Amino acid sequence: MAEYRTHMKIIGDILSTTRDDLQDEDGATVTYLIRKANVSHSRISRILQTLVSQGLLEKVDSQGSNKYKISQTGRDFLQAYKTFSGFANNFGLVI
Amino acid sequence: MEFLLENILNLVGFLVGLSIGVVSAIGFRNTGSPTLFRLAIAFFSISAGFGVIWVGYTLEDFVIKSGSLERWVQTLGIAIQTIGYFFIAFSHSIKSLFPKSRYFRSVGVFPLFLVSSVHIEHIFRSVSFILLAYGAIETIMSYFENRNKGAISVATGLSLLALGEFLGWYSFVFPESILYVSSMIIKISGLIALFIPVSKVPMTKIKLDDNFD
């Protein structure tokens, strides 16, 4: 059975991919993120737009295509997300 | 003995609730998670509830000395705590408060009918018991899903608080018995069990970010 993921969990997965699992140093393409984070194109486009506007991701123009890299704010957010995700799990909850 | 235990319980409850509330609030500030927001409200309420009783008892015993304030302070404090327990249960599911099952509704009516003529405090205690028991069951169910050891400690804490509330509620049948003292000792143990996993949250590297909402 497919596991239900909250919006926050999807954001966490995208940020984790851009931090730990990059294709190259320029960043990750949308197609790569769709495959790794398992999110539809329309949904990930909206999420990426939000994450860039919040300063969690940096959009890089690399050889004519857009790539995404995690920013320092994104790293801090991801660390906080992982810490408080564990905290909520102690209460049997997901954030 | 009873006075000392009540003071310890209320002080421990105030501090543990405040600590968990602050951690939840920092988590909400950093992640924007509504779950952490509800947990922060829950534990700030629980802390405030214990705090109201502690301050009220202290003022009554050492300053006001009217002899009639303690019962109202206790009722107010327990009511505020019940709001906190509601938010813990609500975080798991709102279904617990609007059950469609006919059986559950009949079970829910029974304790309310029993205590309706006794005191409003006992209504809050019975509601708290139901909410805490539900929270404990959901937490232990989550343990079976993700095997997070912290969940065992929280489930134990919520169960002990529920048992403490039940004994505190039931002690009106046998007043001046060991039930009330047992209830307080069990609730102190429950609060300590709740605090154990929270004390392991690494807060030193978390910083508040004013720009992120």
Nearest to A89 among B31, B88, B150 (CB): B150
- A12 within domain boundaries: yes
- Please indicate whether residue A84 or residue B201 has the higher confidence score (pLDDT): A84
Residue range of the domain that includes A39: 7-84
Encoded amino acid at B140, one letter: I
Residues of A in contact with B201 (CB under 8 A): 83-84, 86-87
DSSP at B176: T
Give pLDDT tens digits along chain A (95 positions): 455 677 888 899 999 988 887 767 778 888 889 988 888 888 899 999 999 998 999 988 877 788 899 999 999 999 999 999 999 988 988 88
- Chain B contact set for A79 (CB, 8 A): 205-206
- Digit-coded pLDDT (tens) for B16-54: 999 999 999 999 988 888 889 999 999 999 999 999 999
State the pLDDT at residue B92: 80
Residue A93 lies in a domain: no
Cβ-Cβ contacts under 8 Å, B146 against chain A: 89
Contact check, Cβ <8 Å, B151/A81: no
pLDDT at position A60: 86
CA distances from B87 to A66, B83, B98, B196 (A): 43, 6, 14, 21
How far from B185 is each of B4, B5, B181, CA to CA, in Å? Answer: 11, 7, 6
Whether A32 maps to a domain, the answer reads yes
What Cα–Cα distance (Å) separates residue B154 from each residue in A2, B136, B165, B190, B196? 27, 8, 16, 8, 8
Q: CB–CB of A89 and B151 under 8 A?
A: yes
Instruction: For residue range B123-141, list pLDDT tens digits in order.
Output: 888 888 989 999 999 999 8
| 8 A C-beta contact, residue B91 and residue B45 | no
Contact flag A76-B211 (C-beta cutoff 8 Å): no
Q: According to the model, what pLDDT value does residue A23 have?
A: 66
User: Does residue A89 fall inside a structural domain?
Assistant: no
Residue A95 lies in a domain: no
Over its C-alpha atoms, chain A yields an Rg (Å, rounded) of 13
User: Which CA distances in Å does B47 have to A1, A31, B22, B50?
Assistant: 40, 48, 11, 5
Whether pLDDT at B6 is above 80: yes
Give dist(CA B190, CA A64) in Å, integer.
Answer: 59
Q: CB under 8 Å to B156, separation ≥6 — which residues? A: B190, B193
ipTM: 0.81
In the 3-class helix/strand/coil scheme, how is B12-24 assigned residue by residue?
HHHHHHHHHHHHH
When CB atoms are compared, the residue of A73, A84, A94 closest to B27 is A84
Fold for the domain defined by B2-199: Rhopdopsin 7-helix transmembrane proteins (1.20.1070)
Give residue B200's pLDDT. 81
Q: Is residue A15 part of a domain?
A: yes
CATH for A20:
1.10.10.10
A residues 26..65 contacting B (CB < 8 A): 54-55
Domain total in chain A: 1
**Residue B105 confidence (pLDDT) above 70:** no
A92 touches chain B (CB under 8 A): yes
B154-197 per-position pLDDT tens digit: 999 999 999 998 888 777 777 777 888 888 899 999 999 999 98
Nearest-CB residue to B146 (from A80, A84, A89): A89
